[in-house]
Chains A and B, each alone.
Chain A
Amino acid sequence: MCRLKLPSFGAIYYLLVCLVLYLPIALLIIFSFNDATSLTFPLKGFTLHWYQMLSQSSELLHAVRNSVLIALGSALVATILGTMGAIAIVRYNLPGRGVFLAVSAMPLVIPYVILGVSLLILLNQAGIRLSAPAAGLGHVIISIPYALLIVASRLVGFPNNLEEAAMDLGASYWEALGRITLPIISPALLASFLLCFTISFDEFSIASFLVGTDTTLPVYMYSQLRFPSRLPIVIAMAAIIMTLTMAVLIFSEWLRRTGQNTSRK
């Protein structure tokens, strides 16, 4: 007897949603291999031409380089600041904790256009020229809540008696943090770094106000969206980056989860 198990309504719904979620991404990847300048249906034929053109587009490569650099910088700063904040709020319940939490979480909901223009005013008042690193300053602000939450959830997972044991054995508080706490939470630190990297790398709204002529990749892509003939190259670049980003984030998610699982055992 072979009985076919019918998929439930929930499973069908899930599949449909996933289909819609992946459709736009699939479209972009398909068009990056399409042998036509205009992104229209019907498709023309398979080509790798757009991928080959990538290496010749120096402006694009410059924008990628800018984006990588500011993403590295802002992810590093956000992870360090987020970790310090996370240790403080998880381990100590002292006055100032609530205010700090509220302020650092605010960028999660404040529209990026407001963060962008307020930083534009700051740079203007301070007489600092617009540049890609200036966008990095803003990216740290929007990354801190994520760094804070990732590291804090890892810290909650293990009790602080390991730190106390180290201090009983003669370590100073800061030695205990550096040699006991940080190694234990290192998967969370890496996960936070990778997530913050992709937040900055992908960020357009804030960067569009702050970079001036020193474009980052999203700002460059936006400027190219108006020139149909340049689009396929941009989309080829995007297809590569999407694939890389997904790989990096799946790795980061895996780190975060293994970190949490080991701490529960």
Chain B
Amino acid sequence: MKNRQRFLTLIGLPSIYLFLLFILPMGLMFIFSFRGGTTGAARNVFTFDNYIKFIHNSSFQRLLWRSAGISFLMAIVSCVLAYPLAYYLAFQAGSKKTLLMLLVIIPTWTSYLLRIFSWKLILGSTGLLNSILVALGLIDKPSPILIYSRTAVVVTLIYVWVPFVMLPIFASLERIDRYLLEAAADLGCTRFEAFLRVTFPLSLPGVVAGFFFAFIPTLGEFVTPLLVGGAQGSMYGNLIQDQFMRALNWPMGSVMSLAMLVIVLLLMFLLTRLGPLTDLLGL
């Protein structure tokens, strides 16, 4: 009984905070999604119109699919790029492991906005890449096609996510019992076979966690498209932002946000089926 009281006292304050500023706002957003307008008399009219419009507007759904495509491609490539990095750190880096790991993480601690912006300096028409290509004589004049495209968004997002994706893969590789690899060698496996049949299957939970960890939040990304995406590279998050900041159609924006929230929660539910979140993320 005493324990129960202590537990409730400790958990009470954080729970109240999370309820008031996390759960309640989501609830209010749900109510807002039925309103007829953002302000004035229409605000107090409750209707299903927003949902009907959302379902019938194919451009919303197209953008949602495009965002899913961008996030999917980005997360897959990030996993592929992060895997050898995690493997090197887990199995080959030896005593310098901690330091080498830290070196990969440090860049992620610098300004998110400016790390994205700096890709404009690399991909832009007067940027680093174009300057190098011109200097090498591979192209005669700077190409404007590198920036303001879907590719620019994917490349920039991969840059942002590789270190984060590396963490859960590294954690799952670290957990592999090294005796298993010795046993595989004793039983006649080559190193490559041992990797394919022991190491890789055992590290899959980490890869899947890394994939979702990058994929889910990116579905709603709007900063990267704003900076390097242009019209071609805009994502679903930009659509939501537009409804709230420019079009001032908050009820429609709420419907869009809720649609995204449902997808995100479903994916998160799938992710937690894999094991405890904290273990998976290697935190």
Binding site for B on A (CB under 8 A): 8, 10-11, 13-14, 17-18, 20-25, 27-28, 31, 38-42, 77, 80-82, 84-85, 87-89, 91-92, 94, 96, 100-115, 117-122, 124-125, 137-138, 140-141, 144, 149, 152-153, 173, 198, 202-205, 209, 218, 221-222, 225, 235, 238, 241-242, 245-246, 249-250, 253, 257
Q: Give the docked Cα–Cα distance between A149 and B261 (Å).
A: 24
Binding site for A on B (CB under 8 A): 2-4, 6-8, 10-11, 13-15, 17-18, 21-26, 28-29, 32, 81, 84-85, 87-89, 92-93, 98, 100, 102-107, 109-115, 117-119, 121-122, 124, 126-128, 131, 159, 162-163, 212-213, 216-223, 227, 237, 240-241, 244-245, 250, 253-254, 257, 260-261, 264-265, 267-268, 271-272, 277-278, 281, 283
Pair B3/A94 contact, Cβ less than 8 Å: yes
Scoring B126, B159, B217, B241 by chain A CB atoms within 10 A of each residue's CB, the highest score goes to B217
Pair B84/A40 contact, Cβ less than 8 Å: no
Pair A109/B213 contact, Cβ less than 8 Å: yes
Pair B21/A140 contact, Cβ less than 8 Å: yes
Name A13's contact: one of B84, B107, B112 (CB within 8 Å): B84
Q: Which residues of A have CB within 8 Å of B254?
A: 117, 121
Tally of contacts, chain A with chain B, CB under 8 A: 233
Pair A88/B7 contact, Cβ less than 8 Å: yes
Closest residue of chain B to A123 (Cβ to Cβ) is B25
Closest residue of chain A to B17 (Cβ to Cβ) is A81
Pair B277/A105 contact, Cβ less than 8 Å: yes
Check A198/B109 contact, CB under 8 A, given A10-B92, A17-B85, A81-B13.
yes
Name B260's contact: one of A42, A114, A235 (CB within 8 Å): A114
Pair B240/A113 contact, Cβ less than 8 Å: yes
Q: Which residues of A have CB within 8 Å of B217?
A: 109-112
Pair A249/B106 contact, Cβ less than 8 Å: yes
Check A18/B113 contact, CB under 8 A, given A114-B220, A125-B28.
no
28 CB contacts below 8 A, A to B, read A14-B93, A17-B104, A18-B104, A21-B159, A24-B118, A25-B107, A25-B115, A42-B131, A84-B13, A89-B11, A94-B7, A96-B7, A100-B15, A103-B22, A105-B277, A109-B264, A113-B220, A121-B250, A121-B254, A124-B250, A144-B17, A152-B278, A204-B223, A209-B244, A221-B114, A242-B114, A246-B109, A249-B109
Closest residue of chain A to B12 (Cβ to Cβ) is A84
Q: Give the docked Cα–Cα distance between A88 and B217 (Å).
A: 28
Closest residue of chain A to B239 (Cβ to Cβ) is A113
Q: Which residues of A have CB within 8 Å of B128?
A: 27, 41
B174 CB, min distance to chain A CBs, angstroms: 14
Q: Give the docked Cα–Cα distance between A108 and B278 (Å).
A: 11
Q: Give the docked Cα–Cα distance between A107 and B25 (Å).
A: 13
Pair A204/B112 contact, Cβ less than 8 Å: yes
Pair B25/A119 contact, Cβ less than 8 Å: yes
Pair B227/A225 contact, Cβ less than 8 Å: yes
Pair B10/A87 contact, Cβ less than 8 Å: yes
Pair B114/A28 contact, Cβ less than 8 Å: yes
Check A10/B257 contact, CB under 8 A, given A88-B10, A119-B21.
no
Pair A114/B22 contact, Cβ less than 8 Å: no
A143 CB, min distance to chain B CBs, angstroms: 11
Q: Which residues of A have CB within 8 Å of B121?
A: 24, 27-28, 31, 39
Name B87's contact: one of A10, A85, A249 (CB within 8 Å): A10
Q: Give the docked Cα–Cα distance between A245 and B40 (Å).
A: 45
A118 CB, min distance to chain B CBs, angstroms: 4
Pair B3/A92 contact, Cβ less than 8 Å: yes
Pair B21/A138 contact, Cβ less than 8 Å: yes
Pair A246/B106 contact, Cβ less than 8 Å: yes
Pair B28/A121 contact, Cβ less than 8 Å: yes
